[in-house]
């Protein structure tokens, strides 16, 4: 293990973005590496997570999670190696999952860290398919959308960290048909050729509703919503009676500066008796043991693929985040700090 440096770099939010975030809204600052106090561990971060929900935390408005504070380090999922410990049960060399990303070294309260096993799965997987995105996919499909064998499932943003796992779980659980939308031909090919989707389309090629009707001639029973806008309107049109919609994300409007209009066909919720429900993954902690056992088993057996896109270096964390908002990733976007 190399010696711990005296300083570390971390990203601070210095201005609230108006519309799309710009580099001027952020600062990469050098700070002293602290010594752990009682009950704390010092972690050298190896992989950092950037996720769409972080855009909402850059705005100062009421939400399910507090906003980032101006002039202070941002945070997010991270996995790393313990380099110093004053906490029982944690020793240098242990690997942990924690919530203080966007930095090279993190001083973490041990109660907020979870040991992970790099022999059981790649460390980056604990930020993706075995982490928050995977749990979101699992709970959002099986619990919120009440998926049942024989359902036809449509996933928007299907090549992302959550969507790619939703489609694979639906297939493994016996879906009649799994359909995904994505923003490039390469992503569309990956959905059908690598992740087992029955059909996929590039939403930029034409009206979403026309492409969805062609891909789902018998309608859809479940829609996993990651995008919003035109996608939601199309899903309502094509959905069968008693369909279910999980609203996980609405990335199409995250950077809007004016209120975005709702679907023009919202009345279909009534006539088709559709259930639409928003979800926050932290509401579904009781599912975690089952999730770890089932998804971990699929990952080990190779039945479930773990798509990842890597960007290297803490100095490129902001570029990775902005690239995520532009859809430049396939699967989980990971910032790797490993040497």
For residue 213, with 0-12 CB atoms within 10 Å meaning exposed, 13-18 middle and 19 or more buried, which class applies?
Answer: middle
The Cα-based distances of 116 to 48, 79, 93, 130 in angstroms read 15, 8, 11, 10
Task: List the domains of the chain with CATH numbers.
Answer: 7-128+306-336 (3.90.180.10), 135-282 (3.40.50.720)
Spatial distance between the Cα atoms of 242 and 180, rounded to a whole number of angstroms: 21
Element (DSSP H or E) covering residue 132? helix 132-139
Q: Which two tokens stand for residue 219?
A: 């309608």
Share the mean pLDDT of the chain: 95
Q: Among all chains, which residue has been given the structure tokens 């002039």?
A: 71
Judge whether residue 14 has pLDDT over 70: yes
Closest by CA to 333, choosing from 316, 312, 314, 310, is 310
User: Helices (H) and strands (E) in the chain — how many of each?
Assistant: 9, 15
Spatial distance between the Cα atoms of 223 and 225, rounded to a whole number of angstroms: 6
Antiparallel, parallel or unpaired: β 220-225 and 239-247: parallel
pLDDT of residue 131: 95
Mean pLDDT along residues 299-328: 96
The Cα-based distances of 321 to 43, 216, 249, 326 in angstroms read 22, 33, 16, 9
Judge whether residue 260 has pLDDT over 90: no
Gyration radius from the chain CA atoms: 20
By percentage, how much of the chain surpasses pLDDT 90? 92
pLDDT bucket at 291, cuts 50 / 70 / 90: very high
Judge whether residue 214 has pLDDT over 70: yes
Residues 160-189: tens digit of each pLDDT: 999 999 999 999 999 999 999 999 999 999
């Amino acid at each position: 293990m190399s010696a711990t440096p005296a300083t570390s770099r971390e990203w601070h939010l210095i201005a609230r973005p108006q519309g799309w975030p710009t580099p001027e809204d952020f600062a990469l600052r050098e700070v002293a590496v602290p010594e752990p106090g009682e009950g704390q561990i010092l972690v050298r971060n190896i992989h950092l997570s950037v996720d769409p929900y972080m855009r909402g935390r850059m705005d100062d408005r009421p939400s399910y999670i507090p906003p980032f504070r101006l002039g202070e380090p941002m945070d997010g999922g991270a996995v790393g190696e313990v380099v110093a410990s004053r906490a029982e049960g944690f020793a240098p060399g242990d690997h942990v999952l924690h919530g203080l990303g966007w930095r090279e070294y993190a001083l973490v309260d041990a109660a907020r860290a979870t040991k992970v096993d790099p022999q059981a799965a790649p460390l980056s997987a604990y930020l993706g398919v075995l982490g928050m995105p995977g749990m979101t996919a699992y709970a959002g499909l099986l619990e919120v959308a009440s998926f049942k064998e024989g359902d036809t499932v449509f996933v928007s943003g299907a090549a992302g960290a959550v969507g790619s796992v939703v489609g694979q779980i639906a297939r493994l659980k016996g879906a009649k048909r799994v359909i995904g939308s994505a923003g490039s031909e390469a992503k569309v090919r990956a959905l059908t050729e690598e992740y087992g989707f029955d059909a996929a389309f590039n939403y930029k090629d034409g009206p979403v509703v026309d492409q969805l009707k062609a891909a789902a001639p018998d309608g859809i029973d479940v829609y996993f919503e990651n995008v919003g806008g035109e996608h939601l309107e199309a899903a309502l049109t094509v959905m069968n009676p008693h369909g279910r919609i999980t609203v996980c994300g609405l990335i199409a409007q995250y950077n809007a500066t004016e209120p975005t209009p709702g679907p023009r066909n919202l009345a279909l919720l009534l006539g088709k008796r559709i259930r639409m429900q928003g979800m926050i993954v932290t509401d579904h902690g009781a599912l975690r043991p089952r999730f770890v056992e089932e998804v971990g088993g699929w990952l080990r057996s190779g039945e479930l693929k773990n798509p990842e896109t890597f960007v290297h270096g803490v100095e490129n964390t902001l570029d990775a985040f902005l690239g995520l908002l532009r859809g430049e990733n396939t699967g989980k976007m990971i910032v790797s700090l490993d040497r």
